[in-house]
Every structure is written in C-alpha cells, then in structure tokens.
Chains A and B, each alone.
Chain A
Amino acid sequence: TQLLEQSPQFLSIQEGENLTVYCNSSSVFSSLQWYRQEPGEGPVLLVTVVTGGEVKKLKRLTFQFGDARKDSSLHITAAQPGDTGLYLCRIYNQGGKLIFGQGTELSVKP
C-alpha cells in the first residue's frame, strides 16, 4: 500500500511569515494535486504538478514536484490570515488510484 504523509500536521504562524509544507510518498507517483480546504468548506484545487522537478507559482504560493517523483512541497511567502485552512495533497499513483494525505492544518494569526 502506498503511503502518503504530510508534514507538519499543524502549523501556527504570524502574518507575514514564510512557511513550507511537505507531502511525501513511500513510492513514485504519476501526478500530484494540492487542495486547500477552508473551515466549513470543501477542498478547492490549487495546482496540479505532473513533471518531476516542476515548479509552479500561484501568487505567493510556490509548488515544487521532486525530481524523484516521490515528494512535493508548498511554500507560502508572507502568509496572510486568508491562507488559513487545511492543505491537502492528493496523488494519482502508478496503480491508477487516488490517495489523499491527512493534511497540514495552517493557522495564520493577524
């Protein structure tokens, strides 16, 4: 069974700080998506990465797909209270199965 681990599980920071969250798999995967789930809402897609080594930017968010296709990171610059939420990674593994990580719960305090 392919395991998907996100770290840290919880992160509480002050507005303006930078942060990085990670998504690591026990084996290679085909593609990865990052979702953000705000309190009381369902997850919303942020980005899809499909190429090893790929870097994508979405305003203050930078997503990286590891060269070995087993990990990904999400870096947020100058975090704002509106970034608060649960960040989920989801992979499409080589067996054609979709797997979610348990998420990183981010709290950005004003």
Chain B
Amino acid sequence: ETGVTQTPRHLVMGMTNKKSLKCEQHLGHNAMYWYKQSAKKPLELMFVYNFKEQTENNSVPSRFSPECPNSSHLFLHLHTLQPEDSALYLCASSQELFRDRDTEAFFGQGTRLTVV
C-alpha cells in the first residue's frame, strides 16, 4: 500500500464519546500534519510533527490530542467534542518540514467527522 491512508473514512460520535483518528504514510516521510477542513473555510493547520516530535500546535483546544509513535503513524484522539468540531480532518506528510518553499504535501483522503 502506498501514499497516505486515513481511517476511518467516516465517524459519527456523541459529545461524550472518545474516539481516535488514524493516519499512516508509506512514503518514508519525516513530517506529518493534521488539518481541519470546514465548509467555506480555509484549511486550518492543527498540529505538526517532525521525526515524531511535535513542532507546532496552532492553538488547538485540548479536546484534540495528537500522538505520533513513529514517523509513519499519526493519531488524533478526540474527547468531549462539540458539534462545531464536525469537519473533514485531513492528514498530510512531507519529506521534510515545510522550510523549503517547494515542499510538496501529500494528503490522505480524510475522515469525515460528525459530532452529534
């Protein structure tokens, strides 16, 4: 399997539930990212990991908790979410961190999250 794979593709959860999103990349990349995509809004960068270490947290509420056990896997743990957290959550990877302006991001297909 190649590319960036996200599971599940769809998730419906209650506000009191705990769930996790998974992302796996088979590209040998060193950097991984979580993005949130809401309707009619720009993609929002949530977290950045480089060589398993978190390098960026863009003021994301603590109900979102990322985990990066190795350079190939990235998780997003969800707890007591709000309906406004419903969105498409995209995982991406890149060979290196976006310090080079030409760096390409490879995205997964996303997890469509609905909080009820």
Write the residues of chain A forming the contact surface with B, with a CB cutoff of 8 angstroms: 4, 9, 30-31, 33, 40-45, 48, 50, 88, 90, 92, 96, 98-103
Contact = CB atoms under 8 A, between A and B. Distances in A.
Given A30-B101, A50-B102, A44 B107 contact: yes
Interface stretch (B14-22, B39-47, B75-83): B39-47
B104 A48 contact: yes
Interface in B1-20: 4
B105 A45 contact: yes
Given A48-B102, A48-B104, A92-B98, A42 B42 contact: no
A88 B88 CA distance: 15
Nearest to B98: A98
Q: Nearest 3 A-B pairs (CB), nearest first?
A: A42-B107, A31-B101, A100-B43
A41 B109 contact: yes
Contact of B42 (A33, A92, A99): A99
Contacts of B43: 43, 88, 90, 100
Contacts of B99: 96
Given A4-B42, A43-B43, A102-B41, 6 more contacts: A31-B101, A41-B110, A45-B104, A100-B43, A101-B42, A103-B42
B112 to A, nearest CB: 9
B101 A92 contact: yes
